[in-house]
Chain A
Amino acid sequence: MNEQSVLKVKAGKIKSLTENPTHYCAGCEHGTLTKLIAAAMDDLGIREKTVMIDSVGCSVLAYNYFNCDHIVAAHGRAPAVAAGVKRLRPELTVFTVQGDGDALSIGLSETIYAAKRATPITIFAVNNGIYGMTGGQMAPTTLPGQVTTTTPYGRDPALTGTELDASKLIGQIDGAAYVKRASLVVSEISNPRGKVYTIKNLLDAKKSVENAFKVQALGGFAFVELLSTCSVNWKMSVLEAKRHVNEQVIKRFPLGVYRDTYGVEKPSPK
């Protein structure tokens, strides 16, 4: 399976990408998301009018990869910084890429109030169930029983609660215009020749990214949660990690549209 060929893009041809190689670990979907967002920026022609707010976590070095203006925010504060930019320059496209620790733990208040005030910004929240950058500690999205460096005997819900369902939470907020959970993880399907990989999740994620930008252009708040792996910190092989998302994680975090005020998910009438 070659993701690049299917998405019909080459790194050098996306104007919204720099030519720097990413620091992401093998098998990590951050790189995939980077490419999807950059391709959408190209398609919508917004690169020169876009400010990306980089957050603390694995996306903190995104300013090396996206060829647009950047502000690197403090841990959890990206939506507040984004709101500050957007209120002064409403004609700009302003988006964040945040991890689950950033957007849902230390920055949950900022995330919720950006939505509650219907701030026309776009948040891409990568859910890989762990603090990746700091070496694999428990995140709000860590599943019960999951082993991390701070839950070495498995996450104990009696002590630490259960996983936080971000899309369900943000989807309830009336200020939010578009809330969707998609997956960046390729999945296996069986066909007569055996198991093959399908990129249907990636195509859906691509559509979600584009919709999120469209919603911002319409004046709405968009939150897209993207399931991802972290094979390094999960102590799994890349394939095991992808399988884990498709078989286990997805049961606790079902994909789908949680809010769609403008109806961007509906197929447009022909």
Chain B
Amino acid sequence: MPNQKVYIKGNEALAYGALESGLNAYFAYPITPSSEIPETLAREFGNKKYPQYKCFIQSSSELEAINMVLGAASTGALAMTATSGPGFSLKQEGLSYAACMELPFLIVDICRAGPGLGNLGPEQSDYFQATKGGGHGDYRLFVLAPASVQEMALLPKIGFDLAFKYRNPVLILGDAFTGQLKEDVEFPPWKAPDYDVSLWAVGDSKGRGPHILNSMELDYQKHYEHIGRIFEKYKTAEEKEVRYEEYLTEDAEVVIIAFGIVSRIARSVVNNLRKKGIRVGLFRPITLWPFPTRALHKLSSKGKRFLDVELNTGQMIEDVRLAVGSEATIDFLGRWGGIVPTEREIEREVQRLEVAAV
């Protein structure tokens, strides 16, 4: 697969990205619009090209799948599962335990319209659940937001690296659009992973004390210290692991803030309006957690005006507001229910703001 161009769906690209980055185990439960991920990984199970890929199981429920991931990850294996909104709610139990147990693995949410069953169209309405913990207790997931099929292919590798570096679950938050979209993809030649798991993974206890992977600590002081240590880890991640992209923001009067598929549309908007001489740029968070707070703050201190565009009723905008401060002006354009804004709709909104900015 490396160094050759293939034309595939986002979900398929993500599955191959995981395999190319050394996936050992996948635990499946079908849900639209994520099902091409387990289908691809079921098809590739047994392929001699991926000798490290030892386990594919379709579980009986989302709960069973995430807890199988927990078990597999406990052995130090590269384990993964994928789901969509309603299933992502069910995964929260396992994610809360895993964060406290400091287990590294990859989870994917191909976000569809919610709440409840919603529909199968794209939304970004799992943003809060993804970035604020989602399950019970105090924890965070690393959240990576792909905006193209190519990024669906590349983010699993980045995700596993982060997961094992910080011993924390990593979430790839896609949407029905990036999952179903077909584009050209290239896979770089990655080295086989060699994460050091010897200090914590369960298995062979010969010559060492027992390894105990546990989220429970009945001693309040010890639990206080454990969670404090995890948040020190998160603080380091907030310093070092922030990813974002800026496109023509330098001289922009209005900066569109968008992630995932919306940022693709917004990029076209920027290109279209620039041709008309309108100075507009794009700021795209790639890590939704840790959020690129500082970079946004910097833009805001240059006196930019912001337009936040999301496929929900306004979720990321809360993090944007915290980043840009109370002085900045932020407008919001939201579409939900599976509806994606057109370039023209966003252009109109930018032009309205641009007039106000001048």
| B205 touching A68, Cβ below 8 Å | yes
CB under 8 Å from chain A, chain B span 62-108: 63-65, 67-75, 77, 79, 93-94, 97, 101
Q: Please tell me the size bucket of the interface on A.
A: 35 or more
| B212 touching A110, Cβ below 8 Å | no
CB nearest neighbor in A for B68: A84
| B67 touching A73, Cβ below 8 Å | yes
- In the complex, what residues of B have CB within 8 A of residue A63's CB? 210, 212, 214
Flag A184-208 by CB within 8 Å of B: 1 or 0 each. 0000000000000000000000000
Interface centre among A73, A87, A112 (most CB of B within 10 A): A87
Stretch at the interface among B51-59, B147-155, B230-238, B249-257: B51-59
- In the complex, what residues of A have CB within 8 A of residue B65's CB? 80
Stretch at the interface among A28-36, A44-52, A163-171: A44-52
- In the complex, what residues of A have CB within 8 A of residue B213's CB? 70-72
- In the complex, what residues of A have CB within 8 A of residue B54's CB? 87-88
Distance A148 CA – B72 CA, assembled complex (angstroms): 38
Distance A65 CA – B64 CA, assembled complex (angstroms): 27
- In the complex, what residues of A have CB within 8 A of residue B204's CB? 48-49
B211 in the interface (beta carbon within 8 A) = yes
B301 in the interface (beta carbon within 8 A) = no
B25 in the interface (beta carbon within 8 A) = yes
Distance A73 CA – B93 CA, assembled complex (angstroms): 11
- In the complex, what residues of B have CB within 8 A of residue A84's CB? 25, 27, 67-75, 79
CB distance from A60 to the nearest CB of B (A): 7
- In the complex, what residues of B have CB within 8 A of residue A87's CB? 25, 54-55, 57, 68, 72
- In the complex, what residues of A have CB within 8 A of residue B64's CB? 77, 80, 109-110, 113
A69 in the interface (beta carbon within 8 A) = yes
CB distance from B167 to the nearest CB of A (A): 14
Distance A72 CA – B218 CA, assembled complex (angstroms): 13
| B216 touching A83, Cβ below 8 Å | no
| B210 touching A85, Cβ below 8 Å | no
A74 in the interface (beta carbon within 8 A) = yes
A211 in the interface (beta carbon within 8 A) = no
B198 in the interface (beta carbon within 8 A) = no
CB nearest neighbor in A for B70: A81
Distance A48 CA – B206 CA, assembled complex (angstroms): 5
Given A84-B79, A110-B64, check contact A71 B210 (CB 8 Å). no
Distance A71 CA – B214 CA, assembled complex (angstroms): 6
CB distance from B169 to the nearest CB of A (A): 14
CB distance from A107 to the nearest CB of B (A): 9
A82 in the interface (beta carbon within 8 A) = yes
CB distance from B255 to the nearest CB of A (A): 43
Checking A69, A109, A117 against B210 with a beta-carbon cut-off of 8 angstroms, the contacting residue is A69
- In the complex, what residues of A have CB within 8 A of residue B79's CB? 84, 88
| B94 touching A74, Cβ below 8 Å | yes
Given A51-B202, A68-B205, A88-B24, check contact A80 B75 (CB 8 Å). no
Distance A87 CA – B25 CA, assembled complex (angstroms): 9
Given A71-B71, A81-B68, A84-B71, check contact A92 B203 (CB 8 Å). yes
Interface centre among B54, B75, B211 (most CB of A within 10 A): B75
Distance A88 CA – B24 CA, assembled complex (angstroms): 8
Flag B31-73 by CB within 8 Å of A: 1 or 0 each. 0000000000000000000000011010111011101111111
CB distance from A99 to the nearest CB of B (A): 16
| A60 touching B75, Cβ below 8 Å | no
Interface size on B, residues (CB 8 A): 39
Distance A48 CA – B64 CA, assembled complex (angstroms): 27
CB nearest neighbor in B for A116: B60
Distance A74 CA – B352 CA, assembled complex (angstroms): 52
Given A84-B67, A88-B77, check contact A70 B61 (CB 8 Å). no
| B60 touching A67, Cβ below 8 Å | no
Flag A83-122 by CB within 8 Å of B: 1 or 0 each. 1111111001000000000000000011011000100000
- In the complex, what residues of B have CB within 8 A of residue A50's CB? 205
Given A87-B54, A109-B61, A113-B64, check contact A72 B71 (CB 8 Å). no
- In the complex, what residues of A have CB within 8 A of residue B342's CB? none
- In the complex, what residues of A have CB within 8 A of residue B73's CB? 84
| A74 touching B67, Cβ below 8 Å | yes
| A69 touching B203, Cβ below 8 Å | yes
CB distance from B244 to the nearest CB of A (A): 34
Flag A49-65 by CB within 8 Å of B: 1 or 0 each. 11101100000100100
- In the complex, what residues of B have CB within 8 A of residue A80's CB? 59, 63-65, 67-68, 70-71
Q: A82-B71, A83-B57, A109-B61 are in contact. List 8 more A-B contacts (CB 8 A).
A: A49-B205, A53-B71, A69-B210, A71-B70, A72-B214, A80-B67, A109-B60, A109-B63
19 A-B pairs with CB atoms under 8 Å apart are: A51-B74, A51-B202, A51-B203, A70-B211, A70-B214, A71-B101, A74-B67, A74-B97, A81-B67, A81-B74, A82-B71, A84-B67, A84-B74, A84-B79, A85-B72, A85-B202, A88-B54, A109-B63, A112-B60
The 10 closest A-B pairs by CB, nearest first: A84-B71, A80-B67, A69-B202, A81-B71, A84-B68, A77-B67, A84-B72, A72-B214, A48-B206, A113-B60
